[in-house]
Amino acid sequence: MQRYNFFRPLLILLVAFAVNNLVTLLCNGMGVAPETTESIALIAMVLAALLTYVRLTRNRRKK
């Protein structure tokens, strides 16, 4: 049985949090309404987390 890797979930959470903050900052800087900013940031966060997960599992499958 393989050992559990704590790095992968932490990396996914870190990327999602960073993208959420970056998109929120950019939208607020452009003067977008707060409700719209939250929605855009949430969508970007979910997409970033999914892309990170796919890239991490793809690399693991090739080994």
Per cent of the chain over pLDDT 90 is 75
Q: Does the structure show a pLDDT above 60 at 23? A: yes
Please compute the mean of the pLDDT values over residues 22-30 and round it to a whole number. 97
| Helix boundaries (H) for the chain | 7-29, 34-62
Whether 13 and 4 have beta carbons less than 8 Å apart is answered as no
Q: Does the structure show a pLDDT above 70 at 60? A: no
Q: How far apart are CA 8 and CA 33, in angstroms?
A: 34
Whether 53 and 12 have beta carbons less than 8 Å apart is answered as yes
Work out the pLDDT band at 39, boundaries 50, 70, 90: very high
